[in-house]
Amino acid sequence: MRNRCSPIALLCVFFAGVVSAATPDDGSVLPFPAPENLSVAKETLAESTLAKRTSVSHLAEDAPNILVILIDDVGFGVAETFGGEVHTPTLTRLADEGIVYNQFHTTSICSPTRASLLTGRNHTRVGSGTIAERAVNWDGYTGIIPKSSATLAEVLKEYGYNTSAFGKWHNTPATQTTAMGPKDKWPNGYGFEYFYGFLAGETSQYEPRLVENYNYVEPPVDETYHLTEDLTRKALAWVDRHQAFSPDKPFLMYWAPGAAHGPHHIFKEWADKYKGAFDDGWDAYRVRTYKRQLEMGVIPEGTELTPRDPTMPSWDSIPEDQRAFQRRLMEIFAGFVEHTDHQVGELLEGLEQRGLKDNTLVI
């Protein structure tokens, strides 16, 4: 019987060779082509040549680690760094040591902002025109970041970075976040080699619904537990593993706690720091913040204070017997934000203790 060769097989082999040979090595197309295998297998081991597999670095020798910190639902006038009244010494230190922008725009809601940040594209271009729970089968609103739009993690991983994400994800349709998946749209499917956090838009800070990579895990049963603190510990533990096994590689870390999105869960001692700070209500707070931002140059000279949104009641319209409750809500939120700033400080201090501060870009 004569040997036969399928024309389709020949065609596949031909085109595979063409694609491989034509793939550029300049980063304009990812992944990079695999290095040539110089090993030669012959009929006997003595005749064969075994060459060590080579790896090509596509990074500068001093390529920095990158830490991206995303804090949720914290307005421009909250932190004292920008004229607010919530104590944020870590953010102030970062601002003093780095560059501050006052023209950064978000999409005002969770999933679209995160998708834009991770891909560098307009939110509707990456299927994220609304939050993941509202995903529908309309172009731009599917809740799915298409594989044609690489994330920051996917790109940097191809260049040789180790990648991780901690905290809130909120970029997977809710129907795909059960324990049975499908899980290709979870963080690991978008270039993050390690993930610890939650997939939804919010979760309890005391009893969160946690995911580690592809599996749901239970939080510790501990009255002193708080998710933001847990995320800090887990992040530094991951850095330790990175340093132990691949100290020659830079890392990307995306650290996005649930704070200060609801539910506003914080220990009493943090909220009590702001006892009485907002007794005159939110309208007076807006005016004070506006004046400080003008004095600090955070907003340009001549900027006018925007009118209060008509859907937001004035402080004067709040009945006296309800004001204590409203004041406490503001105190809790402020304590939650300061606690988050403190945890960012713990994370940065941990990097400094490990000798990583000077070569880490914090965004």
CA dihedral 224, 238, 194, 134 (to 10 degrees): 40
Query: Kind of pairing, strands 194-198 and 210-212?
Result: antiparallel
CA distances 341 to 93, 162, 222, 232, 271, Å, are 11, 25, 22, 11, 14
Q: In this predicted structure, what is the pLDDT of residue 73?
A: 94
CA distances 250 to 30, 97, 244, 350, 359, Å, are 19, 22, 13, 16, 9
**pLDDT over 50 (residue 20):** no
User: Rounded mean pLDDT of 223-243?
Assistant: 98
Taking only the tens place, the pLDDT of each residue in 144-167 is 999 999 999 999 999 999 999 999
User: Rounded mean pLDDT of 289-300?
Assistant: 96
Reported as a pLDDT band with limits 50, 70 and 90, residue 201 is very high
Q: What ranges do the domains of the chain cover?
A: 65-275+317-362
Taking only the tens place, the pLDDT of each residue in 246-291 is 999 999 999 999 999 999 999 999 999 999 999 999 999 999 999 9
3-state secondary structure of 163: strand
User: Rounded mean pLDDT of 222-237?
Assistant: 97
Assign a CATH topology to domain 65-275+317-362.
Alkaline Phosphatase, subunit A (3.40.720)
Q: In this predicted structure, what is the pLDDT of residue 102?
A: 83
Q: In this predicted structure, what is the pLDDT of residue 193?
A: 98
Q: Among the residues of 121-274, which ranges form H helices? A: 152-159, 227-245, 268-271
